[in-house]
């Protein structure tokens, strides 16, 4: 099989395509011939050495794939061979073949392409956790979505539209027409640091550092800041301890302690899908609900571009420059 490896921390160009023996599914597993693998900002941070959950170097990144089951291990129904599925992986997704526990391979419904299947799991489950499970978004809520043109941003827009929320979205102006068509009511220019002029009920922030402080201050009573990343620590194309330190120093440590939150009538929530592996039954239940919403048209994953494994460096650079609208994929 073919894989993309991160051999050491560095710029996108350090990514390497390597050959490896085809894996064999263990008992209870299926093997998926991968047609598309999703790229997430966590992969970029891991390449820079800024992702604490990453395994030791060298390793194969990747949290999600879609393809077709081509082999099954002992104890798995043989009729699953040939089934079109998508799967969440804990690293290893940048591979042309992936083995995973059979229950985690979710059948793709008729009409769902491998590209859509690979664009759905991480982005939409992150948005689901933020808005449905923790944020409890409701009709009329004011929701501010940072990086609204990214994969999680578009997923959040879909869920907010379904809930009847009032959506504020921040992105570069080149993305505003697309975002208006997706349902954003109030568009803000991230390049000129525009922010909402009204108090928010929910702020979804993957940036961190001073952005979290500003978001917390911008909540009205009962509002919740949802933190789901720290991209402020990964702004450069190469590793930088100083950038990470500046992001950490900008976190509103004093304002987010329990006593301060009690007095402000505000909440701070955190979401990391990579830490939900022990909640697989719940995650699968949410996934099935999401598939149902996709089938009736409420969820609309958007693929910005697909790159070959050999173009993985170009794909990472595109995401790091924030040029993508929606999901970026790799294809073996």
pLDDT (0 to 100) of residue 274: 86
Instruction: Give dist(CA 12, CA 316) in Å, integer.
Output: 6
Instruction: Say whether pLDDT at 240 is over 80.
Output: no
- DSSP class per residue in 161-215: HHHT-EEEEEE-GGGHHHHHHHT-SEEEEGGGT---SS-EEEEEESS-THHHHHH
Contact (CB, 8 A) for 163 and 103: no
Report the relative pairing of strands 200-205 and 142-145 from DSSP bridges. Answer: parallel
Nearest CA-CA partner of 45 in 269, 223, 230: 230
> 175 — phi, psi (to 5°)?
-100, -5
Give per-residue pLDDT as tens, 290-327. 999 999 999 999 999 999 999 999 999 999 888 999 99
pLDDT (0 to 100) of residue 236: 67
* Portion of the chain with pLDDT greater than 90, in percent: 88
Instruction: Give dist(CA 150, CA 210) in Å, integer.
Output: 20
How many CA atoms lie less than 13 Å away from 120 in the CB half-sphere? 29
* Phi-psi label, residue 114: left if phi above 0, alpha if psi -120 to 50, beta otherwise: alpha
Assigned CATH for 2-120+301-331: 3.90.180.10
Distances (CA, A) of 17 to 7, 60, 65: 10, 10, 17
pLDDT band of 247, cuts 50, 70, 90: confident
E strands of the chain, at which residues?
2-5, 16-19, 29-38, 64-72, 84-88, 97-101, 106-107, 142-145, 166-171, 186-189, 200-205, 219-227, 267-270, 303-308, 327-331
> 54 — phi, psi (to 5°)?
-65, 145
Residues sharing a CB contact under 8 Å with residue 63, sequence separation 6 or more, in sequence order: 38, 40, 42, 43, 88, 89, 90, 91, 93, 121, 122, 273, 274
Nearest CA-CA partner of 185 in 165, 155, 211, 163: 165
Nearest CA-CA partner of 18 in 2, 34, 37: 2
Instruction: Say whether pLDDT at 131 is over 90.
Output: yes
Domain definitions of the chain by residue range: 2-120+301-331, 122-273
Instruction: Give dist(CA 305, CA 318) in Å, integer.
Output: 10
Give the chain's largest Cα–Cα span: 59
Q: Kindly report the CATH class assigned to 122-273.
A: alpha beta
pLDDT (0 to 100) of residue 279: 87
Residues sharing a CB contact under 8 Å with residue 269, sequence separation 6 or more, in sequence order: 130, 134, 135, 224, 225, 226, 227
Contact (CB, 8 A) for 100 and 131: no
Nearest CA-CA partner of 311 in 59, 12, 91, 11: 12
pLDDT (0 to 100) of residue 246: 81
pLDDT (0 to 100) of residue 237: 65
Name the residue with higher pLDDT: 231 or 136.
136
Q: Is the pTM of this model over 0.85?
A: yes
Give per-residue pLDDT as tens, 69-110. 999 999 999 999 999 999 999 999 999 999 999 999 999 999
Q: Which two tokens stand for residue 59?
A: 């390793």
pLDDT band of 249, cuts 50, 70, 90: confident
Nearest CA-CA partner of 211 in 260, 263, 146: 146
What letter would DSSP give residue 236?
Answer: S
pLDDT (0 to 100) of residue 277: 82
Give per-residue pLDDT as tens, 9-43. 999 999 999 999 999 999 999 999 999 999 999 99
């Amino acid at each position: 099989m073919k894989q993309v490896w991160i051999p050491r921390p560095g710029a996108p160009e350090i990514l390497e395509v390597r050959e490896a023996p085809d894996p064999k599914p263990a008992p209870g597993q299926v093997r998926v011939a991968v047609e598309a693998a999703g790229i997430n900002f966590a992969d970029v941070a891991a390449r820079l050495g800024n992702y604490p959950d990453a395994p030791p170097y060298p390793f194969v990144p990747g949290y999600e794939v879609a393809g077709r089951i081509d082999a099954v291990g002992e104890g798995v129904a043989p009729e699953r061979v040939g089934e079109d599925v998508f799967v969440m992986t804990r690293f290893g997704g940048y591979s042309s073949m992936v083995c995973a526990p059979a229950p985690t391979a979710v059948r793709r419904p008729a009409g769902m392409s491998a590209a859509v299947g690979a664009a759905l799991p991480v982005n939409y489950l992150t948005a689901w956790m933020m808005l449905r499970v923790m944020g409890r978004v409701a009709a009329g809520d004011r929701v501010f979505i940072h990086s609204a043109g990214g994969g999680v941003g578009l997923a959040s827009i879909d869920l907010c539209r379904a809930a009847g929320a009032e959506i504020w979205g921040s992105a570069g102006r080149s993305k505003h027409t697309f975002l208006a068509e997706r349902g954003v009511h109030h568009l803000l220019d991230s390049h000129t640091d525009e922010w909402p002029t009204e108090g928010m009920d929910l702020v979804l922030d993957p940036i961190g550092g001073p952005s979290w402080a500003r978001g917390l201050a911008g909540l009205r009573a009962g509002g919740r800041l949802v933190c789901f990343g720290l991209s402020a620590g990964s702004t450069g194309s190469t590793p930088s301890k100083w950038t990470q330190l500046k992001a950490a120093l900008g976190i509103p440590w004093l304002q987010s302690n329990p006593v301060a939150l009690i007095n402000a009538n505000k909440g701070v929530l955190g979401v990391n899908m990579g830490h939900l592996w022990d909640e697989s039954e719940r995650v699968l239940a949410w996934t099935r609900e999401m598939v149902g919403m996709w089938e009736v048209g409420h969820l609309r994953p958007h693929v910005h571009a697909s790159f070959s494994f050999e173009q993985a460096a170009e794909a990472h650079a595109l995401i790091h420059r924030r040029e993508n609208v929606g999901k970026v994929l790799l294809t073996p």
